[in-house]
C-alpha cells in the first residue's frame, strides 16, 4: 500500500511538473454526490464530465483511480471534501491546482447538477502557526477549520432522457472551463431525439368525451360539423328544458301564493276568484313540468344518440393512421442513410 | 412543457366531476319538480262545501281546522253561508268540555244595522248556545255570508277534538218563521 502511495505521489509530482511546463492546470474531479441516483450512475456521469474536461485541452485531469485510492487511503468521502484543509491536503497529494466536486440530483426525469471548483492554492492557508522554543515545536495558534468558498459554481437543470443528460454534462464541462462547446456537441443536443407521445384518437376517447357533453367526442374525432350539430341540439333542447323549469317555478310560486290567500279569505267571491287562479297556476305547473320532463328526455336521447354516434364513427386521425404502412423505407438524417421502419399500432 | 403534465391529470379528474355534475343537475331538476296536490278546503268556499255535502244556506266554522298548544287560547268564528233575509238565529255548538273550555263569546259583524240586535250566549257543560236576533216590528234582516260570532276557546288537554253545530240550530226570518238550513259545518281542533 505504501509502495502504491509512493507511486501515486511520484505520478502526481510528475503531473505537477508536466503542468508547470505545459501551463495548463491540473484538475481533480471528485465523484459527484448522487441524490436519487445510484453511486455507479453518478460515477459514470462524473467520468463523462471529467473526460470532456480533458477533451477541452485546457486542463490535465488527474486519473480517477488515483483520486479514489487517495480518498480511500485518507478515509474521506468525495462529497465531504469541501473544507479548505481537505482540499489543500487532497490537492497537494494529487498535485492538482483545482478540485471539482458536485452534486447530481434526479427527480423523475428532472436532473440538477451543481459543480463547484475549488482552488487548491487558496486552500493552502496554515492550519497552525508553530515556532521553535528551546528546540521544541510549539503550536502558537490553531486556525479553525472552515468550509471553503468555491472559486466557481455552475448549476444546470435538465429534463429528459439520459442521453440528453450526457450531452448536457459535456456542454457543462466546456462552460466550466470558460469555453464554448464545440458545434458537434451543440448540434447533438439539438438533434436529441425528442420523445413525442402522440395519443392516437380512439373510439373510446370519443365516447368518453361525448359522455361528458354532446358533441365533444365528435370534435375530438375531427368531425366538427357533427360536433356542432350535437352540441347545438343538446344546448337548444337543454335551454328549452330550463325555460320550462322556470315556467314551472313561476307557476309553483303562484299556486302557493293564491292557495294561501284563498285559505285566509272570508269573502266568497274572492275565494272563488282565488280558487280559479290557484287552479290555473296548478294547471300551468303540471303543463310546464310535463314539458320539462319531455325536454329532459329529449336531452337524454340526444346525449345517448351522440354517444352512440361518437363510438360508431371512426375518428378521422385514427383512420389516417390505420392507412399507414406498418413497414416503410425512411431516411435517417442522423445516420445519413436509408433504413426500414417497422411500426405497430397499440390500440 | 412540464406544466402540461401537471394539468393533464387534473383535466382527467375534471372530466368526471363535470359528468357527475351533469347527472346531479338533471336528477335535481327531475326531483325538484314535485306537483303539490290541489287542495281547496276553505270552509267558506261554496264549491268545496258542495263537494262535502254542505249547501247554502249553511252555518260553518272558520277556520274549520285549528292547530294549537295545550293551555293556549284560540279564536273560532261561526259563519253564516249564503243566508237570505235572516232576522234571527239560535246556534247550538257542541264540544268536548274536558278538551276545551269557552272563555269568551263575542258578536260578529254579520248582524249589523237596523235596531241593534240582541246577542246572548249560554255555555253549559259542552254546549254553547248563541242567540242573536233583531227585535220588534222594524227588525231588519241580513243576507249573504258573514261572521255571526267569534268564540275564544282554551285547550285543556292534548289531542284532537271535534266541534259540531247541532241540527237543533235555528234560523228565523223577520216574521220568526224558520229558514231551512242545508248545511252544518264542523271543526277540528288539535292541541299539542
Strands A98-107 and A33-35, sheet pairing: parallel
- Cβ–Cβ below 8 Å for B38 and A296: no
Give the residue carrying C-alpha cell 406544466.
B3
Residues of chain A found within 8 Å of residue B19, distances taken between Cβ atoms: 211-212
Chain B residues with at least one Cβ partner in A under 8 Å? 2, 15, 18-19, 22, 26, 29-30, 33, 35-36, 38-42, 44-48, 62-63, 77, 79, 81-82, 145, 147
- Which residues in chain A touch residue B39, judged by CB atoms under 8 angstroms apart? 259
Does the pLDDT of residue A275 top 90, yes or no?
Answer: yes
Taking only the tens place, the pLDDT of each residue in A92-119 is 888 888 888 888 888 877 888 888 888 8
Here the cell at position A49 is 464530465
Three cell numbers, residue A136? 521544541
Q: What is the pTM of this model?
A: 0.53
Nearest-by-Cβ selection for A245 from B2, B18, B29:
B29
A284 is written with which cell numbers?
Answer: 300551468
Q: What is the pLDDT at residue B78?
A: 94
Q: What is the mean pLDDT of residues B69-74?
A: 92
Neighbours of A155 (CB within 10 A): 12
pLDDT, averaged across chain A? 78
More confident residue, A323 or A137: A137
Residue A195 has pLDDT above 50, yes or no: no
Give A26's Cβ-side CA count (13 Å radius).
Answer: 26
Whole-number pLDDT of residue A255 = 94
- Cross-chain CB nearest to A268 (options B26, B77, B145): B145
pLDDT band at A209 (very low <50, low <70, confident <90, very high): confident
Q: What is the rounded distance in angstroms from the CA atom of residue A3 to the CA atom of residue B78?
A: 128
**Which whole number is the average pLDDT over A219-228?**
89
Q: What's the pLDDT score for residue A197?
A: 45
Does B104 have pLDDT greater than 70?
yes
Mean pLDDT calculated for residue range B14-32: 68
Asked if the Cβ–Cβ distance from A208 to B15 is below 8 Å, we say yes
A285 vs B35, B41, B42: nearest CB: B35
Q: How many CB atoms lie within 10 A of CB A50?
A: 24
Q: How confident is the model at residue B163 (pLDDT cuts 50, 70, 90)?
A: very high
pLDDT bin (cut points 50, 70, 90) of residue B141 is: confident
What distance in Å separates the CA atoms of residue B62 and residue B51, rounded to the nearest whole number? 17
Task: Give the bridge partners for A118, in sequence order.
Answer: A99
Residue of chain A with shortest Cα separation from B17? A212
Amino acid at each position: 500500500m505504501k509502495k502504491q502511495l509512493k507511486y501515486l505521489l511520484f505520478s502526481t509530482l510528475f503531473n505537477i511538473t508536466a503542468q508547470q511546463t505545459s501551463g495548463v492546470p491540473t484538475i481533480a474531479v471528485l465523484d459527484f454526490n448522487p441524490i436519487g441516483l445510484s453511486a455507479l450512475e453518478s460515477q459514470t456521469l462524473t467520468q463523462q464530465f471529467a473526460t470532456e474536461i480533458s477533451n477541452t485541452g485546457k486542463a490535465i485531469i488527474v486519473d480517477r483511480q488515483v483520486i479514489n485510492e487517495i480518498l480511500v487511503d485518507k478515509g474521506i468521502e468525495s462529497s465531504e471534501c469541501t473544507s479548505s484543509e481537505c482540499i489543500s491536503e487532497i490537492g497537494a497529494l494529487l498535485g492538482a491546482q483545482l478540485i471539482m466536486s458536485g452534486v447530481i440530483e434526479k427527480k423523475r426525469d428532472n436532473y440538477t447538477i451543481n459543480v463547484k471548483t475549488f482552488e487548491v492554492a487558496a486552500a493552502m492557508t496554515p492550519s497552525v502557526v508553530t515556532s521553535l522554543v528551546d528546540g521544541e515545536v510549539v503550536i502558537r495558534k490553531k486556525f479553525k477549520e472552515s468550509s471553503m468558498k468555491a472559486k466557481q459554481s455552475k448549476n444546470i437543470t435538465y429534463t429528459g432522457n439520459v442521453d440528453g443528460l450526457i450531452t448536457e454534462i459535456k456542454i457543462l464541462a466546456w462552460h466550466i472551463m470558460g469555453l464554448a462547446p464545440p458545434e458537434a456537441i451543440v448540434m447533438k443536443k439539438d438533434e436529441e431525439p425528442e420523445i413525442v407521445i402522440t395519443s392516437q384518437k380512439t373510439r373510446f376517447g370519443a365516447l368518453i368525451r361525448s359522455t361528458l357533453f354532446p358533441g365533444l367526442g365528435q370534435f375530438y374525432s375531427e368531425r366538427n360539423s357533427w360536433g356542432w350539430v350535437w352540441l347545438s341540439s343538446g344546448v337548444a333542447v337543454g335551454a328549452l328544458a330550463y325555460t320550462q323549469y322556470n315556467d314551472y317555478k313561476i307557476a309553483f310560486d303562484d299556486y302557493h301564493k293564491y292557495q294561501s290567500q284563498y285559505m285566509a279569505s272570508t269573502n266568497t267571491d274572492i275565494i272563488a276568484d282565488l280558487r280559479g287562479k290557484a287552479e290555473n297556476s296548478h294547471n300551468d305547473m303540471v303543463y310546464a313540468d310535463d314539458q320539462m320532463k319531455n325536454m329532459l328526455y329529449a336531452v337524454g336521447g340526444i346525449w345517448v344518440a351522440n354517444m352512440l354516434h361518437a363510438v360508431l364513427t371512426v375518428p378521422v386521425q385514427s383512420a389516417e393512421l390505420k392507412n399507414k404502412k406498418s413497414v416503410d423505407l425512411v431516411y435517417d438524417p442522423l445516420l445519413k442513410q436509408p433504413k426500414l421502419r417497422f411500426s405497430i399500432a397499440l390500440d | 412543457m412540464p406544466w402540461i403534465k401537471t394539468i393533464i391529470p387534473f383535466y382527467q379528474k375534471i372530466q368526471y366531476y363535470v359528468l357527475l355534475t351533469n347527472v346531479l343537475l338533471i336528477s335535481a331538476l327531475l326531483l325538484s319538480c314535485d306537483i303539490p296536490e290541489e287542495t281547496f278546503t276553505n270552509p267558506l268556499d261554496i264549491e268545496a262545501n258542495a263537494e262535502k255535502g254542505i249547501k247554502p244556506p249553511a252555518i260553518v266554522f272558520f277556520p274549520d281546522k285549528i292547530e294549537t298548544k295545550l293551555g293556549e287560547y284560540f279564536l273560532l268564528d261561526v259563519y253564516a253561508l249564503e243566508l237570505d233575509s235572516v232576522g234571527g238565529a239560535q246556534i247550538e255548538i257542541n264540544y268536548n268540555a274536558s278538551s276545551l273550555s269557552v272563555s269568551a263569546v263575542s258578536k260578529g259583524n254579520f248582524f249589523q244595522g237596523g235596531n241593534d240586535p240582541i246577542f246572548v250566549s249560554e255555555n253549559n257543560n259542552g254546549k254553547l248556545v248563541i242567540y242573536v236576533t233583531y227585535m220588534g216590528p222594524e227588525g231588519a234582516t241580513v243576507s249573504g255570508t258573514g261572521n255571526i260570532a267569534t268564540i275564544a276557546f282554551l285547550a285543556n288537554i292534548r289531542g284532537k277534538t271535534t266541534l259540531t253545530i247541532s241540527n237543533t240550530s235555528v234560523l228565523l226570518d223577520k216574521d220568526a218563521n224558520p229558514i231551512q238550513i242545508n248545511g252544518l259545518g264542523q271543526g277540528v281542533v288539535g292541541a299539542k
